[in-house]
Amino acid sequence: MPMITYREALHHALREEMTRDERVLIFGEDVVAYGGAYGVTSGLAKDYGEKRVFDAPIAEGVIAGAAVGAAMGGLRPVAELMTINFALLAADQIINHAAKVMHMFGGQMSVPLVIRAVGGGGAQLASTHSQSLEPMFAHVPGLKVVTPATPADGKGLLKSAIRDDDPVLFIEHALLYRVRGEVPEGEHLVPLGKAAVKREGKDITLVAYSRMTLVALQAADLLSQEGIEAEVVDLRSLRPLDTETVLASVRKTHRALTVEEAWRTYGIGAEIASRIQEEAFDDLDAPIRRISGVEVPLPYAKNLEQAAIPDAQRVMKAVKEIFARTGG
C-alpha cells in the first residue's frame, strides 16, 4: 500500500467521489485558487470545472445553509468551512436545519451533505482558532460527527460520509495533514459509527479520537517498554458512537482511560466513562480516568499552549497512577 499524507488521502477521497457521482460538488472558503486552507481541494476545480468546485464568500451561515438547500435539491454537497471555530457562525444551520430536516418534516426528506472543518490546537493560533468543539456538535441528534486520526481513516470515512444520506460534520485535525500512513488505493470505505482497535493490549484501554489517537499510541509504545500493554481504541466517529467496541475492550483489560483534546467538562471522555460504568461496571478494576485539554482558552505562547494540550507523558502518568492504585 502506498504511504501518503492525511491531506493526500482526503484529496483522493474527494476526487474519487466526484468521479463516481456527478451530484457531488464542493463549495466553501478558498477551495478554488487557494486549493483549500490546508490544500485538500488543490487542483480539483481545474479537473472538475468551476461548476462543481467553487468558492463561497467568507460567510459561514450561507455556506452551511446553501449546503442544506443543495442537499434538499438533490445534490450531495461537500462544504468547506475552513475551521471548526468558524462553524460557530454556521451552528444555527447545522443544528437547527441540517440536523432537523429529516425529523421535523416527518421523514419526507433527508439531507446528504458533508461539512468539512479543521479542529484542534497546537499551531499557535491562539484562542479563537485552536478549539476542539466537536463535543458541542456531537451532542445533537440528527447529526453525524466524524473525526479521523489516520490517512486511511481520513479517506475511508470521507468517502463514506459523502455517500451517507445524513448530514455529516467531518472534523479534520490541523496537525495531521502531513502525517503519513498506508492508504489503500481506490475503493476504501470505513463505515461511520464504527470504532477501531488501533493497538491491542491486555492491561488497560485508552479511548481516544482524532490526533489524540496518535498520542495514545505513542504512550502505549512507551508503556510497553515498562511492561504495561495498553489497548488503544480510536472512536473515529463521535456520533453515532460505537460503545460496543469500547466495552469489549474494557471487558478484556478491566481499566480505562479516555484521552481527548477537547475540554473535560461535559466532554467525550465523560460520555465514554459514563457508558462504561453503566454497561461494564462489574468488569472494572479501577475508576475510569480522563485526560483532556486544560480548561482554558488556548494561549498563543508555545510553552503555554503545549501545557494545555494532552501529550504522551500525561497519558503515561495517568496510566501509572491507575496501576499504582490497583496494582498490576
Partner 1 sequence: MGGKTAAKVGQSGLDKKTLLNFLHQMLLIRKFEDKAGELYARGKIAGFLHLYNGEEAVAVGAISALEPHDLVITHYRDHGHAIARGLDAKRLMAELFGKATGVAKGHGGSMHFFDASLGFYGGWAIVGGHLPLAVGLGLASNTLRKNQVILCIFGDGGTNIGYFYESLNVAKLWNVPVVFLCENNLYGMGTALHRASAIREVYRKAAVFDIPAERVDGMDVLAMREATVKAVAHARGGGGPYFLEAMTYRFRGHSMADPILYRDKSEVEEWKQRDPIILFQQRLREEGVLTPQDLEQMERETDELVADAVKFAEESPEPPLSDLHEDIYANP
Please, which residue, 94 or 136, has the CB nearer to partner 1? 94
For residue 238, count other CB atoms closer than 10 A to its CB.
27
Contact assessment for residue 308 and residue 276, using Cβ atoms and an 8 Å cutoff: no
Contact assessment for residue 258 and residue 291, using Cβ atoms and an 8 Å cutoff: yes
- Examine the residue annotation and report whether 129 is marked as an active-site residue of this protein: yes
Residues 12-31 within binding reach of partner 1 (CB under 8 A): 23, 25
Please, which residue, 52 or 194, has the CB nearer to partner 1? 52
Residue 29 to residues 42, 131, 147, 229, 292, Cα–Cα distance (Å): 13, 19, 20, 44, 30
Q: Which of 16, 17, 29, 60 is catalytic?
A: 60
Phi/psi-derived region of residue 326, left when phi > 0, alpha when psi is between -120 and 50, beta in every other case:
alpha
**What is the separation of C-alpha 84 from the centre of its chain, rounded to a whole number of angstroms?**
11
Q: How far is the CB of 236 from partner 1 (least distance, A)?
A: 16
**What is the separation of C-alpha 13 from the centre of its chain, rounded to a whole number of angstroms?**
16
Please, which residue, 30 or 92, has the CB nearer to partner 1? 92
Residues 84-123 within binding reach of partner 1 (CB under 8 A): 92-93, 96-97, 102-110, 112
> Does residue 186 bind partner 1 (CB under 8 A)?
no
**What is the separation of C-alpha 293 from the centre of its chain, rounded to a whole number of angstroms?**
15
Residues 289-318 within binding reach of partner 1 (CB under 8 A): none
Query: Using alpha carbons only, how large is the chain's radius of gyration in Å?
Result: 20
What track of x and - describes contact with partner 1 for positions 137 through 166 (by CB under 8 A)? ----xx-x-------------------xxx
For residue 47, count other CB atoms closer than 10 A to its CB.
11
Q: Which of 11, 12, 97, 129 is catalytic?
A: 129
Query: What is the C-alpha to C-alpha distance for residues 184 and 187, in angstroms, rounded to an integer?
Result: 8
- Examine the residue annotation and report whether 187 is marked as an active-site residue of this protein: no
> Does residue 61 bind partner 1 (CB under 8 A)?
yes
Please, which residue, 70 or 176, has the CB nearer to partner 1? 70
Q: Please select the residue that binds partner 1; options are 28, 36, 65, 293, rule is CB under 8 A.
A: 65
Residues 248-277 within binding reach of partner 1 (CB under 8 A): none
| Residues binding partner 1 (CB under 8 A) | 23, 25, 51-52, 54, 56-57, 59, 61-75, 77, 92-93, 96-97, 102-110, 112, 141-142, 144, 164-166, 240
